[in-house]
Amino acid sequence: MRVFANFVSSKSCLLVHKDIHKGDFKLRHYQFSGGVVQLVLFVHSDDLADEAIIGKCQLIRNQLNSFKKFSMRIGWTKMPVFASVFCVFDNSEKAFHFRQSVQANCKHYTLLSKFYVLPWGVDLSAKSVWAYKGWPPPHFKSADLEVKLFS
């Protein structure tokens, strides 16, 4: 986890939520950005089957409601809750398989409820980070993350 120490900024508050901190989940970053709650979670995924990774993302999606109370209210609506889930791989083959076959199934979002689970991939052996595809646009740039994580 020393690699990820550079990623967490000093201005953010660190929080471990009791419903999310189970097993392989590590909540490393919790930040308010314009009234939006942004969670960053790291899942060590080398030893997990495809269904287990997808199931963990669904579990995270089911627990996001408890963070909704921290988002800002504008008029009659609350701002969204984003969970960026970084699936970390030591093995490049497993990372490539995740990127090609599993990552799209891990993404969960609904516009009306404003809960977003956004899967990212981190390949430690190749020192690369890649974002999910599609809507909403990524909050982070892969190149910036690679510099912060691997420099």
Q: In the numeric block, which tokens belong to residue 43?
A: 């899942």
Q: Is residue 62 part of a domain?
A: yes
Q: Is residue 5 part of a domain?
A: no
Q: Is residue 1 part of a domain?
A: no
Angle 81-87-90 (CA atoms, 0-180°, nearest 5)? 160
Q: Is residue 54 part of a domain?
A: yes
| Residue span of the structural domain in which 46 resides | 13-150
Closest CA to 136 of 98, 94, 84: 84
Q: In the numeric block, which tokens belong to residue 20?
A: 């999310």
The pLDDT tens digits of the residues spanning 70-127 come to 888 888 888 889 999 999 999 999 999 999 999 999 999 877 878 999 999 999 999 9
The letter for the amino acid at 77 is T
The secondary structure element, H or E, covering residue 78 is strand 77-78
Q: Is residue 79 part of a domain?
A: yes
The pLDDT tens digits of the residues spanning 10-59 come to 223 333 333 334 444 444 444 445 678 888 899 999 999 999 999 999 99
Q: Report the C-alpha gap between 138 and 140 in whole angstroms.
A: 5
- pTM value surpassing 0.95: no
Q: Is residue 53 part of a domain?
A: yes
The letter for the amino acid at 83 is A
